Amino acid sequence: MNLLLISNSTNAGEEYLKYPIAEIAKTLEGVSEVVFIPYAAVTFSYDEYERKVQQRFNEIGVKVNSIHRALNKRNFLRHAQAIVIGGGNTFALLKKMQEEDLLDTIFRRVKGGTPYIGWSAGSNVTCPTICTTNDMPIVQPASFRAIGLVPFQINPHYLDANPEGHAGETREQRILEYIEANRSRYVVGLREGCMLRINDNGIELIGSRPMRIFKKGMEIFEVQPGDNIEFLIKRTR
């Protein structure tokens, strides 16, 4: 596989998709156009989302073709040079992909070597489920089962901070609840400005910040960019 899983699209004070564009270009080497899935967009249109991504992808000479324009969407995916799924609301994204029966087609294409890039919700849906998303369930998908390209769960936009005066659960507490109920699953807290590359060479954390690792029966620990994190994918290799 050739996956680039990005925590967030935009760092504070930066332009949209600016910080990961060099890594996106590496992933799309030799690719002239991509199939884009915009279904995580809720407060703006799929057309707007396509244009927004195209503006950044113009810098690397890649054409963005949104799947919402295609009549036969699964066939559109079968001929994709690469697949890109943008962020937004993970529940809306998964519901629409389930309704259009896209999950298995994406799984087969990416397992067969088609490059895949996702950010935020687009990273969430590569996991076994979307149960570690941060998003509000504004719609109800048929199930929480996602594409299942990786055997671990991602919590994008992972935050350590607990705002002053906030008496609710922290992100860490929510993930601890998840691993209590899902004891065999690793969860990675992927901080903003960071991404995971997964290919034939293994798995790599890219960015300037560590990633937090959760699993039932283990002390929470952190890994740095450059550390060996093969344990996250060894069951699928």
Compute the distance between CA of residue 212 and CA of residue 222 in angstroms, rounded to an integer. Answer: 5
79 is catalytic: no
User: Residues 53-80, buried b or exposed e (16+ Cβ, 10 A)?
Assistant: bbebbeeeebebbbbbeeeebeebbeeb
Tell me which of 47, 157, 208, 227 is the catalytic residue.
Answer: 157
Partners of 213 in the beta sheet?
188, 221
47, 76, 178 from 23: Cα distances, Å: 25, 25, 31
Which residue among the candidates 9, 66, 120, 123 is catalytic per the annotation? Answer: 120
Q: Among the options 32, 135, 143, 227, which is catalytic?
A: 135
Phi, psi (deg, nearest 5) at residue 63: -85, 135
120 is known as an active-site residue:
yes
Angle between helix 90-99 and helix 103-111 axes, rounded to 10 deg? 90
40 touches 121 (CB < 8 A): yes
Question: Cβ distance 76 to 111 under 8 Å?
Answer: no
- Helix segments in the chain, DSSP class H: 21-27, 46-57, 73-78, 90-99, 103-111, 121-124, 171-181
Can you read off the two tokens belonging to residue 210?
């560590």
Catalytic site residues? 120, 135, 157
